[in-house]
Amino acid sequence: MLWKYLLGLWMAAVIAAAHLLPIPQVKGLGETARIIFFHVPVAWVALVAFTIAAINSIRFLHGRNMEFDYRSYAASQLGLFFCLLATITGSIWAKVTWGSFWNWDPRESSIFVLLLIYGAYFALRSAIEDESRRAALSAVYTIIAFVTVPFLVFVIPRVYFSLHPAPLVNVHGRLEMDIRMLLVFLASLFGFTMLLFWMYQLQLTITRQELKEE
C-alpha cells in the first residue's frame, strides 16, 4: 500500500517539474514541447501493455492455461485505454501546432489503425461464447495484432514524411535532449510504468473473477 502513496507523490513531483522546469525553446514547438513529459510515456505504457498481452497469448497457446488468457485480456484493455489517451492528447497538441485536431499525418494514421486493430479484438472476444475457443482465437489474434505494432509505431512514421517531431532517438541513433528535460522525462516514464502495473493488478483481479463466473 505504501508504494501507491509514494507513486502519488512521485507523479505529483513529476507534474510540478514538467510545468515549472525551464525548457530550451525549439522553433515551431515552443512551450508545447512539454507534451513530451506525458504524451510519450502514455504511448510507451500502451506499448508495454500490448507486449504483455502478446507474451501471455503465446504462453496461453503453449499450455492452454486460462490464466494467461485472463492476463492477456486485462493487458489489452489497458493498452487500448492508454493508446486512446495518447491519441486524444496528440490531437489536442496538433490543433495548436498544426491547426486542426486531425490531419491524417502518418503518425496519426498509424495510431488510428492500431486503435481499430485492438478495437476489433474486443469485438472478436464478445462474438464467441465458448470459453476455450474464445481464448484460443483471441490469443492468435493478439499475436498477429502485435506483429503490426512495430511497423505502425516505429517504421511507418519514419518512412513517410511526417510533421510529427522527431523521435527521441533520432536518425543518427543519438538521444539529443536537454539533461534536465531528460531527467523529468525518465522520471515520468518510470512513474507511468509503475502506474500501469498497479492498474494491471486491479484489471486482472476483475477480469479473472468475471471470466470465471461466466
Partner 1 sequence: MKENMVFFVINLVIWIGIFLYLLQLNYRVKKLEKKK
| Greatest C-alpha distance within the chain | 56
Query: In the complex, what is the shortest distance from the CB of residue 81 to partner 1, in angstroms, rounded to a whole number?
Result: 6
Q: Which is nearer to partner 1, 102 or 151 (CB)?
A: 102
Q: Which is nearer to partner 1, 63 or 99 (CB)?
A: 99
The total of other beta-carbon atoms located within 10 Å of residue 166's CB is: 10
The single residue among 28, 30, 119, 150 that binds partner 1, judged by CB under 8 A, is 30
Selection from 145, 148, 110, 108 nearest residue 124 by Cα: 145
**Residue 203 contacts partner 1 per CB under 8 A:** yes
The single residue among 17, 44, 55, 89 that binds partner 1, judged by CB under 8 A, is 89
Q: Report how many residues bind partner 1 under the rule CB under 8 A.
A: 26
Question: Are 184 and 17 a contacting pair, CB within 8 Å?
Answer: yes
Q: Which is nearer to partner 1, 61 or 199 (CB)?
A: 199
- Calpha distance 207→211 (Å, rounded): 6
**Residue 19 contacts partner 1 per CB under 8 A:** yes
Selection from 93, 86, 99 nearest residue 45 by Cα: 86
Q: Which is nearer to partner 1, 30 or 150 (CB)?
A: 30
**Residue 116 contacts partner 1 per CB under 8 A:** no
Query: In the complex, what is the shortest distance from the CB of residue 107 to partner 1, in angstroms, rounded to a whole number?
Result: 16
Q: Let me know if 156 is exposed, middle or buried by CB neighbors in 10 A (0-12, 13-18, 19+).
A: middle
**Residue 50 contacts partner 1 per CB under 8 A:** no
The single residue among 58, 85, 143, 156 that binds partner 1, judged by CB under 8 A, is 85
State which H helix or E strand residue 25 sits in. none
Q: Measure CA 150 to chain center.
A: 12
Question: Are 14 and 187 a contacting pair, CB within 8 Å?
Answer: yes
Instruction: By CB under 8 A, name the binding residues for partner 1.
Output: 15, 18-19, 30-32, 34-35, 38-39, 42, 81, 85, 88-89, 92-93, 96, 195, 199, 202-203, 205-206, 209-210
